[in-house]
Structure formats: structure tokens, C-alpha cells
Amino acid sequence: MSRLSLSASDVCLYILALFLPPVAVFLKTGFDANFIINICLCILWWLPGIIHAWWVLYKYDKSQAQEETYVLKQTTPDQPVIFPSPCLEAGACGNLHASAHQLVVFNLLATPLLLLPTREIQNLRRLLSEHKGKMVEVKKYYLPPTALIPNSPQPLLHYPGLLSSIDSAHESIAAKAHDLFTTNGWETQWIFRYGPSQRSHYHSGVHECMAVLTGTATIRFGVADTVSDLDESTHGSGREEGGIEVPARAGDVFILPAGTAHKTFNASPVTEFKLLTPGDGHAVAGEGSIKDTLANVELSGFTMIGAYPKGGGQWDFAKGGEDVGHFEKVWSVAKPENDPVLGKADEGLCGQWH
């Protein structure tokens, strides 16, 4: 933004305002005893014009920046969504600070701020059109350790329907979930299609994010299977006591601290279990970009996409009992710098995990 300059008419007015009063005083009184007093009165006459000129020349730029540039700040869940600026409503501001990317998904308040460096900015207009008016709901579950499962002192986090707020008309929901993960320093590693049931398991050395892309299912958290028969462990008594069962549907996001047991069953539509992304489930293989690969995955049945903190190591598949006597090691896995979808917002793991 360039600094404002004065027009020719403004300059003429300022010259008249500055010189007309002292000239009139001199012509009337000459250099007598009252001349100094009259000059002081002239200075008082000049003062408003000087202040106005200073404001226009030196403060206009900063004032306009505050009016036209905004960053988005998370509000508390009970606050209304407020977009007080025509700039935001009309899409006149084309940019958003990258670290505020994830906040657009939720309940927001637009707050004036100084201009941000271009290299740190992402597209705002698209995000506002997709996420405006949305709120995030956060559910927390504290799961105590069992005889076989460490679980975690940190809560399991569930964001019901979060991904459903994303308009997927022009881009697949998997690709957009991947964008969120990447922005927040998490690595997309797989898309699985789930069958009627699976073995309960946990990951001992890494935190996990699972986001539901399609279908519905039930996920049991917090307990191990005690028999190998899937039907008995799913619907019978072949499991530990306790745990919780959470209905999962398209759009839901789950953040699992390391050590949290989980078992997906009652998937609908009914399909066979299958890894849908190329590779072994520890990375998305292929020659093209990960985003393009994900966008081309054909989704059917109950599917979830999984992500893990970058540099956090590979996930294992512990079924229960492997870490008995060493639960503290599982509990000591480092807290990620960002929530995979909420970034540094207090509503996410940054504010909920300690």
C-alpha cells in the first residue's frame, strides 16, 4: 500500500492557512508590542491543520492496514460467529496467515491486525467460503490403564463431524484432510476400508489421528481382546472389562494418544477390510504427489484416513500385554507441536494434553 499524498487544492489551502493570518497581523499592527502575542495566536490557528497533515501523511498507511487486513482468532464455543468487516464478507482480503489455516474451520472472530508477510499467508477467500459459520465440538474421554493396555493419561479427543464442514465439491475430502495434516506437521500414511470387525490394538510409540471419510461404524476404545475369535471378542465376553464404544460417521476426527486401544466393528456399508492406498500402510507410496494419490482413491464402505506426527517414528500393532511393566515408557511419548486439524488452538491437543 502506498502512502497517501496531498492534492494541489490541499496544498493551496494549507499555504493560505499558514501565511494569511500572520500577514494580516503585520499589515494591521506592524512590529509593535502586540505582534508577538498575535503570532502566538496564529500558531494556535495553525495547529489543527498541522496535526491533520501529519495524520494524513504518516498515519494513513497504518490505519488502512488495520482496516483491510485481518487474522482469525478462535472464540469460545458459546460465542456467536462474527464477521464485522465487509473486507471478509466480500472476499476483498485474499490472504490468511498460514498458522491460522485450521481456525477457519470453526467458530471465529475477525480481529484487526497489521499486514502479514506474503510468505506466511494462505488463501483466505476459499477457506471462508468453505468453513464460514462452522463450530468445532470437542469430546474428551479419559481411559485408565488395564491389565493389558497402557492407554494414556492424556484424553482421547473426538471432533464429531469436523470434516463434514469442508466443501468437497472441487476436491476430495481425503485430499483436504491431507492438507490439514500437512499444514500442522502430521504425515498422512494410509486409507483403510474396514470390514465387519478387527483385532483390538494400540500403538506404543506414536500418537495417531484417524478421520472418517465415508460410512459409519462403532469404535471401541480402551480395552484388549482376550480371545482370538473376532465374533466372540466383538459381541461376546472375549474382551477386558471397561472401555467405551463411540459411534463413528463420515466427518468425525479422532486423536489417539499413544497406548490407546481401539477396535473398529459394525462397519456399514458392509465390505471387506482393505488398504486402499499404495504401500504398506506406513506411508503413501507412488510416483506422484501424496495429495494426487489420495484424490484418486475410490472410497467405498467405511473408510478412514490415518496420520501421525512427522518424525515420530513408525506405528506398531500391539494387541495387549506387550508393554506390561513398562506403561510409563508409552506414556512418555512426546506431545506433538500441533493438533493435526486444530493446530495450536486450545480446543485441540495443544490445550487438552499436558
pLDDT tens-digit profile of 44-101? 767 776 776 666 555 444 433 333 333 333 333 333 333 333 333 333 333 333 333 3
Residue predicted with more confidence, 193 or 41? 193
- For the chain, the average pLDDT equals 78
- Which range has the worst mean pLDDT, 42-51, 101-110, 178-187, 341-350? 101-110
Most confident of 156-170, 252-266, 286-300: 252-266
Helix (H) or strand (E) holding 352: helix 349-352
Task: Give the C-alpha distances (Å, rounded to integers) separating 4 from 1, 54, 55, 115, 348.
Answer: 9, 11, 10, 17, 43
pLDDT at residue 297 greater than cutoff 70:
yes
How do residues 190-203 score in pLDDT, each as one tens digit? 999 999 999 999 99
Q: Among 241, 237, 209, which residue's Cα sits nearest to residue 143?
A: 241
Segment 120-133 mean pLDDT: 41
pLDDT at residue 244 greater than cutoff 50:
yes
| Cell numbers representing residue 39 in the block | 503570532
Asked if the bond preceding 269 is cis, omega within 30° of 0, the reply is yes
Helix (H, G, I), strand (E, B) or coil at 239: strand
Residue 287 pLDDT grade (very low, low, confident, very high; cuts 50, 70, 90): confident
Name the CATH topology of 139-352: Jelly Rolls (2.60.120)
- Which range has the worst mean pLDDT, 100-114, 199-213, 294-308? 100-114
Axis-axis angle for helices 35-54, 8-29 (nearest 10)? 170
DSSP annotation of 132 reads T
Within the chain, strands assigned E span 70-74, 95-97, 108-112, 121-123, 139-141, 156-159, 186-194, 208-214, 216-221, 244-249, 253-256, 262-268, 274-275, 302-309
Residue 322 pLDDT grade (very low, low, confident, very high; cuts 50, 70, 90): very high
- Which range has the worst mean pLDDT, 32-36, 44-48, 65-69, 168-172? 65-69
Helix (H, G, I), strand (E, B) or coil at 126: helix
pLDDT at residue 126 greater than cutoff 60:
no
Residue 234 pLDDT grade (very low, low, confident, very high; cuts 50, 70, 90): very high
CB-count exposure of residue 16 (10 Å: 0-12, 13-18, 19+): exposed
- Give the pLDDT of residue 301: 97
Compute φ and ψ for 110, nearest 5 degrees: -85, 130
| Cell numbers representing residue 251 in the block | 466427518
Neighbours of 128 (CB within 10 A): 20
- Give the pLDDT of residue 54: 64
